[in-house]
Homo-oligomer: A and B are copies of this chain.
C-alpha cells in the first residue's frame, strides 16, 4: 500500500515528541509548497482535542497568499486532548477503525488526491511522537508502516531534544522509513540557548540527511493571529530555511523516482542472478521486479503503469523461497537483529558460548529435536547444513564398518529430492536437468521411486510407479493417508517393506555400500511439490534401520543408537510449521538421527541453519580417547552468528526484544 506518484510529492510529518512544532512547521511547508506546486494537500488522519484548535483548521487559517491552492482534511476526530488510544477509549459515540481500516482510509484519500493529476505536494501529519499509540494502541510508526511514506522528522529543540530526536530517528530507521529532511527550530530568543540544531545538523549530515533550522514562532503569550501570520509570512513566503526545505523535498522526491526507475537496468548490468538465464531478459523494466520495500505478505514493487502510482503491492507468493513466517519486515525481528548486532556483532564460536546461540540450541533440542536430538551444529544455509549432516552420517557408518581407507559410501534417497547446491548436497541427489551441466556433480547413491499422494477428479489416491508399472490406491480422505499408525498394518505397507528390502539386498549384494538415508519428509519441495506417500517414507526408514545386516553396521540394542544407516531428515523446506506441525517428521510417526533446518528458522531475516543430531551420531566424532582430527572438522566463519540466533529465538518467541510468552506474530 506504499504510494509514489510523479506528479504528487508526499511526505509524512513525524515529531520527535509531542509539542515540538509539527503543525507550525507543516503550515509553513504547505505555504512554501503552494508557491512551487499547483495544489497542496494537507492531511491530518487523526486529531484529538477541540475541533476549533485542530491542525487542519490552523493550516487553513494561515494558508497565506496562495491559500486557494491548499486543501486540508482530517479523517478521524476525537474531542479529548489526550493520546488517541485514550481518546478512542473514552469516546462512546465513535467506533475506532481497525489499523487496516485506518491505513486504507488514508490510502484512499491519497489516491483521490493523486487522481486530480495536478503537480502537487502532500503532507500527512501524525499525532504526538513517532511512537504515540494510535486509536487501538498500535504504535504510530508501526501503524503507518504499510504506507511507508517518505518522512520529515520534526526535531525537538528543547533541553533534552537532541536525545529524543535521535531516538525517534532510530525508531523510524529500524522500521525502514526514509527520512528526507529534519526540521529543527532555532532556540526561542528568550530561552537558554540549547543549540540543538548545531549538534544535529552535522550529525544528520553524516547520515545523508539535511537539517533545516527555521525561526521559532512567537511566544505563546504573543501568538495572536496577526503575529502568527507575520511569522508565517516571514519564514515561509520568501527565501529561507522553509523554502530550502521545500527544495530538498522536491529533490528527494525526484531522486527517489529516478533511482527506482533506474534499478532494473542497473541490476541487469551488475547482478548475476541465481537460476536465471540472463539471455531471456529482453526488457529489464518488465522482466525484473523492483522491490522498493516489503511488508506483511507483500512486496511493494515498482509499477510500470505510467498513469498511476509508481508502486503497487505484489503478493510474495513463494514467501521469498519459503523463508518468511511472520511476514516481511517485522519490527520485533528487526529489533532482535539490532540487539544482537549491538551487543556482539559476530563472535567466534568454537569452544565459546554466547546467549543467543545457547538459547537457540536449547530451544531447537526441545523443539524440532524433542525426543531424539541432543546436539546442534550451526552453519549458514540448508546446503551447508546438509553437507554437515552427510559428513556426520557417512563418518559414523565408516567407523561402524571399521574401514581404514575411504570407501565409496553413497546415500539412499528418493527420486526428485533436492538438498542444496554445494557439491556434497548435490551429490546426494539424483542426476537430472539441474545438475547436468555441473561438471563436478557425481550422483553418489540410489534413489527410490516415490509413491505420491494426489487428488484426481475428487478421488484421493496414492500412485505407485516403479519398473513393474503404475498402480493407483484410492482412499476415502486425505487424512486417511496420513493416519500412519493404521496404515502400517495394511498390505500396502507390507508391499513397500518387501520392495525396499529386496532393493537393498540387490544393491548391497552387487557390492554397493551406503552411508545414510536422506529424505525430505512428506513433500519434495524443489522437486515439484510432490507429496510422497508418508507410509512409504515411514516404511523406508524402518526397513533401513532393520537392515544392519546388509549395511555391515552391526545392530545395536542401546537406547538412542542409530541402526542400519543414520537417517537424515532434510526439513529445510517443511520444518517450523510450514506444512502444519512443528516438524513433518511427526507426520511420519518417527524421528531421524540427524535433522536439517534452515529457511524459516530465522523468521525470514538472515541465513542460518542447524543440523541436529543424536548423541549416538555425536559420539562417532567425540569419544573417549579421540584425537583432534576425529572431530567434525567443518565450520564457517559466521558459525552461530548472534544476529541469526537472536532472530531465530525471537521468531520462536523469546528474548528481551521479543515476547517472552507468545510467538512474535502475536504481538
Contacts and interface: CB of A to CB of B under 8 A. Distances in A.
A276 B631 contact: yes
A54 interface: no
Given A131-B162, A178-B656, A348-B316, A618 B272 contact: yes
Interface string A246-267: 0000000000000100011011
Interface residues of A, number: 189
Nearest to A631: B277
B633 A17 contact: no
A110 interface: no
Contacts of A95: none
Contacts of A616: none
Given A349-B273, A387-B422, A515-B439, A358 B267 contact: yes
8 contacts: A129-B164, A130-B167, A207-B657, A208-B656, A270-B362, A329-B344, A381-B637, A424-B440
B656 A604 contact: no
A274 B469 CA distance: 47
B294 A347 contact: yes
A442 to B, nearest CB: 8
Most B CB atoms within 10 A — which of A266, A636, A657? A636
A137 interface: yes
Interface string A112-146: 00000000000000001111110001011000000
Nearest to A330: B345
Given A18-B163, A380-B607, A341 B333 contact: yes
A272 B657 contact: no
Shortest 4 CB-CB distances between A and B: which pairs?
A176-B343, A274-B635, A129-B163, A18-B160
Interface in A317-352: 318, 320-324, 327-331, 333-335, 337-352
A409 B270 contact: no
Contacts of A1: none
A30 interface: no
A606 interface: yes
A355 interface: yes
A628 interface: yes
Contacts of A335: 170, 173-174, 338
A214 B424 CA distance: 62
Interface stretch (A535-543, A579-587, A639-647): A639-647
A406 interface: yes
Interface in A409-448: 409, 420-425, 427, 433-441, 444
Interface stretch (A38-46, A77-85, A493-501): A77-85
A273 to B, nearest CB: 5
A160 B406 CA distance: 69
A455 interface: no
B351 A276 contact: yes
A624 interface: yes
A20 B86 CA distance: 21
A53 interface: no
A395 interface: yes
Contacts of A632: 272, 274-275
A409 B280 CA distance: 29
A638 B323 CA distance: 8
Interface string A273-310: 11111111100000111111110000100000000000
Given A345-B605, A395-B438, A635-B274, A167 B129 contact: yes
A353 to B, nearest CB: 4
A342 to B, nearest CB: 4
A196 B638 CA distance: 42
A365 interface: yes
Interface in A492-535: 515
A361 B323 CA distance: 23
A29 interface: no
Contacts of A267: 353, 358, 361
Contacts of A131: 162-164, 166-167
A213 interface: no
